[in-house]
Structure 1
Amino acid sequence: MEGASGVVTLLPLLLSLATTSWAQLLHDIPTKPAARIAVIGGGIGGTAAAYFLHDLFGDEVLIDLYEPDHIGGRLATLSVAGQEYEAGGSVIHPANQYMKNFAAQFGLSHTTPCSESVGLFNGEDYVFTSSNIALVDFAKLFLRYGWDVYRLQKVPAAVLQDFIKIYKLQHEGQAFKDVASLLLAMSKEMLRMTQMSTTDWLMEQGFSPLTISELVMSALQCNYGQTPEMHAFVGLIALAGADSNLWSVEGGNKRVAEELLKHSRASLLRRRVAQVAHSTSTPRKFMVWSHEPDEPVEAEAAAMGQKDAAQETKETWREQEYDAVILATPLTQDSTKIQLVNFTQQFSFSGHYEPIETTIVRGVVRPESLMLNDDEMLDNILVINPRLMFNSFGRQQPVKGRKCDQEAVGVWKIFSPHKIPEDLLDIFFQRREVTHAISWLAYPHYSTNQTLGDFELAPGLYHLNAIEWAGSAMEMSVIGAKNVALLAYKQWKNDPDAGKKPPIKEEL
């Protein structure tokens, strides 16, 4: 009994020692540190990338988001007479699942466009003006364009059936290293559409030259400041922007980007990135060099012959090492000064971005300056002649608490390829109380022979904005963000299947 009692007494001590030994052994096993990732750019694409990275990596990632200006990028609002108005991307398509889900998740309310009158203007006359009676408007359009009016609403919907496949593919963890492969995964036709003009593609579908030169032209001029010579895929995105069920976010579409950043748990660095370099000391690492927003970039100083200033400037730069870098900003020569150095390959980014002037005026319009009578002023004037000084001229409603009023003193937005001189604005307006002019490099200049580009520039280095060469839109940027986040996650895990989720259940 004594011996047995001794064994029983020792058991708790032995169990305690064993537990302690295993705990110590597990504690001593080296664990992989959290991934450190830089996202350069705080627009809808960059903030969505940060959000998706956090969703994939969980607590195993540290994210720095570099943005020297406002969060939202080309999503921005402007204050006019105490109210905020959209100055950038204004509307969202009802089929945009990511934007719709974000708004729901973050508790952001929808607003819908006011019912407004519209005219198609060729510079001398209006080929169409709407009334307040839908049946009359359809009859007028039918007499001019025939069944093309009906079919023009159906064609984007047919392409959309292939487009929405991307949501299922990304849910299942599929990612693509280049834009062409992403489009091809949805349909061969989508890739073909990037290689032919909107005019040629619509002619194949049986649309008349008149429909293309007027109805299609008006949509492309308003949404992209370009003609139907742009490639057909982005042309169809522009036509989808004429959907009657478009919506926007109460308080401004930039609210989505702001909420994405907050929920990503990324650190916001108000710094401008000058260089991204492949680390020479640590394999598969990257160095990001940044500076305060108001400091000159070395390349600028050197270009002006200020060698001493250039050297002094670089000494004030800050460097940080990362496991991966996501470039969520355009990389064409006209749109960025970020240098990619110490890489084995030479990077070249062709093409350029289309400059757009946004002029926002609070005042009283002079109808005769727009070939209208005093009693027939339109809410929206869409241009079908690309040689005119403006692309569109439209009444605006505030992003919060819109009332769809028609007061004489209104807020108007003019899109134009060049800045409109003050003396010409005085021709358009009897009185101007407030005038703001904003210059954007708004979207790529689209053609049929451009290179779509790569998402993966090197293992661990990703270019989100490559997707813009297929089509520039909020939802396209978010799709690009999910794609590069998946690429980064697969690279970090060294597992091509990483990021896969159970298939979406189909409704019966």
Structure 2
Amino acid sequence: MFMLPLKILILLLFFCLTFPQISSSTSTSSGGDDATVCIIGSGIGGSSVAHFLRQYSTNHHPKILIFERHAIVGGRMATVTIGGDAFEAGASILHPKNYHASNYTDLLNLTGKIPSSSESSISLGIWDGNGFVVKTLNANSNWGIVNKIVSFFNGIYLFIRYGFSLVKMEGFVDETVNKFLKYYEGVETRPVFESVEEMLKWAGLFNLTGKSLKEELVDGVKLAPLLIKELVTVITRINYGQSANISGLAGAVSLAGSGGGFMGC
């Protein structure tokens, strides 16, 4: 499954958090006329930016123009049918703490699906193209005690293989997500940003843009190389089609998609 592209997340946050400043400066230079905002694309990024721009504007109602090459809105947030089977054409999950996107789906009356316990697998397999390099026990029992026992032994197996690196990776992901959550604070406790760089520095995320994910995980988080090679690389390839040498910020967002509690689109 795919996470929402990082550029959409950054675009949405940047416009939402900078619009009051944009509106003020534009009205001053144009003699009080409403600003005209042009947005390219009407996918979840473009359409939600247009919505939140208007919602967060307290003094003006700007003219918003959305340019879309297709006849319908939604972009890659679509489902295609091939051979009678339905496939997600783009992002298929939403992080539960991506409040803007979650609230926007509520606004559109879109129904989310949270996998039931019977649909959630407790097994893990990593295929390197030739065979399974990691394969845990599989259980699909109606007996809860059986699933717990299998999960316990799988946990022991993964700890033996990766040590405390799994715990360190979880801590890194939680820290990154909490930094993103700062953007949801009210205007009373956060500034208005004039650039993406300023916005990232305020939340403590800018340092991730100057290094690769692999560099951050090896030098900063001190993860075991085996975990990066097997698990982290799988996650970044599934989400963004890239290796662990992806940008540190994009990679951190990608790793956030490895947790649970997601809502299906």
5+ long unaligned stretches in structure 2:
1-30, 140-149
1:291-306 mapped onto 2 (5 Å cutoff): none
Query: What is the CA distance between 1:195 and its match in structure 2?
Result: 0.9
Residues 167-196 of structure 1: CA deviation (Å, up to 9, x unaligned): 116686844332211100111xx2111111
Matches within 5 A, 1:322-471: none
- For residues 258-269 of structure 1, the aligned pairs below 5 Å read none
Does 2:158 match 1:141?
Answer: yes
Deviation at 1:231, TM superposition (A): 2.1
Q: Is the 8 A contact 1:193 1:233 kept in 2?
A: yes
Change in CA separation of 1:179 and 1:169 when aligned onto 2, cut-off 3 Å: farther
Structure 2 CA distance, aligned partners of 1:108 and 1:171?
Answer: 31
Stretches of structure 1 lacking an aligned partner (at least 5 in a row): 1-30, 250-508
Equivalent residue letter for 1:234: A
Aligned AA for 2:234? S
2: CA distance, partners of 1:175 / 1:72: 29
CA contact (8 A) 2:40 2:66 kept: yes
Aligned to 1:52: 52
Q: Which position in structure 2 is the counterpart of 1:225?
A: 241
Per-residue CA distance 1:417-474 (angstroms, 9 max, x = gap):
xxxxxxxxxxxxxxxxxxxxxxxxxxxxxxxxxxxxxxxxxxxxxxxxxxxxxxxxxx
CA contact 2:213–2:244 (8 Å) conserved in 1:
yes
Choose from 117, 120, 123 the match for 1:115: 120
- C-alpha distance in structure 1 between counterparts of 2:95 and 2:247, whole Å: 20
Q: Distance in 2 between matches of 1:225 and 1:170?
A: 36
The 2-side partners of 1:194 and 1:148 are apart by: 23
Match of 2:79 among 67, 73, 77: 77
Which residue of structure 2 aligns with residue 502 of structure 1? none
Residues 194, 68 of structure 1: alpha-carbon distance in 2 compared, 3 angstrom cutoff: same
Q: Which amino acid aligns with 1:221?
A: R
Q: 1:46 to 1:58 in 2, by over 3 A?
A: farther
Whole-Å separation in 1 of the counterparts to 2:245 and 2:47: 32
Q: What is the Cα deviation at residue 63 of structure 1?
A: 2.7
Query: Does the 8 Å contact 1:120/1:214 carry over to 2?
Result: yes
Which residue number in structure 1 is paired with residue 207 of structure 2? 192
Query: Which structure would you say has the larger Rg?
Result: 1
1:107-143 alpha-carbon deviations (Å, 9 max, x no partner): 4332124324542111222121232232232122112
Q: Does the aligned pair in 1 maintain the 2:177–2:256 contact within 8 Å?
A: no
Match of 2:222 in 1: 206
Q: 1:141 to 1:66 in 2, by over 3 A?
A: same
- What aligned pairs does 1:79-94 form with structure 2 within 5 A after superposition? 79-80=81-82, 84-94=86-96
Q: Answer whether contact 1:118 1:129 (CA < 8 A) is retained.
A: yes
| 1:238 match | 254
* Amino acid in the other structure paired with 2:130: E
What residue is the counterpart of 1:324 in the other structure?
none
* Contact map agreement 1:184 1:191 (CA 8 A) in 2: yes
- Alignment: residue pair count: 217
* Counterpart residue number, 2:97: 95
| 1:231 alignment partner AA | S
Counterpart of 1:152 in structure 2 is 169
Q: What's the counterpart of residue 14 of structure 2?
A: none
Higher helix share: 2
What's the TM-score once normalised by structure 2's chain length?
0.72
**TM-score, normalization by structure 1:** 0.39
Shift of 1:151: 2.5
Query: Which whole-Å CA distance do the structure 2 matches of 1:60 and 1:193 have between them?
Result: 36
RMSD value, Cα = 2.5
Post-superposition offset of 1:198? 1.4
Letter in 2 for 1:196: K
Which residue is 1:67 aligned to?
A: 68
State the partner residue of 2:263: 247
